[in-house]
Amino acid sequence: MLSDADKALYARQILLSELGLEGQQRLVNAVARIAASSDARAREVARAYLLRGGVGTAAAPEAAAVSVAVPDSVEVQRIAGDPALEGCAAWLAGAFAAVEAIKQAAGVGTPAALDPECVLSREVV
């Protein structure tokens, strides 16, 4: 059960009709698993998002393990398309992976994937 402090901390998320109190409880009861082979920069972005969402804050024995699909460095480089954009690609990949893991842990939404043709560009359109 969420404490009053947890309810205050996650109040904005609890207000979301898709999540609510029960969904937030599922997030707090979940533990994230990120592969060591994932891109380090993207992994850190994913961890930050997961932490702020409440994932992994209660590592109870019955905690549900959620696999976080953070891409490796080769995939981040592919998404970047240009070495100058690798930081942006890592942020995008990490944030996207975390949101998908949060949806899975909370049991909400429809699974999604980044478009395999997605490549960042320096062009401003």
87 occurs within a structural domain: yes
Residue pointed to by tokens 């401003």: 124
pLDDT tens figures, 44-95: 999 999 999 999 744 555 667 899 999 999 999 999 999 999 999 999 999 9
Assigned domain for 125 exists: no
Is 111 contained in some domain? no
Averaged pLDDT score across all residues of the chain: 92
Position 41 scores a pLDDT of 98
Helix, strand counts (H, E) of the chain: 6, 2
Average of per-residue pLDDT across 11-39: 94
pLDDT at 61: 57
pLDDT at 62: 61
pLDDT of residue 122: 80
Residue 39, domain member (yes or no)? yes
- Whether 96 is covered by a domain: the verdict is yes
Task: Give yes or no for a contact between 54 and 10, defined as CB atoms under 8 angstroms apart.
Answer: yes
For tokens 């404490």, the residue is 3
Structural domains of the chain, count: 1
Range of the domain at 97: 4-106
- Supply the pTM of this predicted model: 0.89
Establish if 55 belongs to a structural domain. yes
Question: What is the mean predicted confidence (pLDDT) over 23-41?
Answer: 93
The confidence score (pLDDT) of residue 125 equals: 66
| Structural domain includes residue 98 | yes
Q: Convert the pLDDT of each residue in 82-111 to its tens digit.
A: 999 999 999 999 999 999 999 999 999 999
Q: What is the pLDDT of residue 74?
A: 98
Which residues share a beta bridge with 66?
32
Whole-angstrom distance, CA of residue 16 vs CA of residue 68: 22
CA-CA distances (angstroms) from residue 124 to 32, 33, 92, 114, 115?
Answer: 36, 36, 18, 21, 20
Which letter does DSSP use for residue 56 in this model? T
Residue 116 domain-assigned (yes or no): no
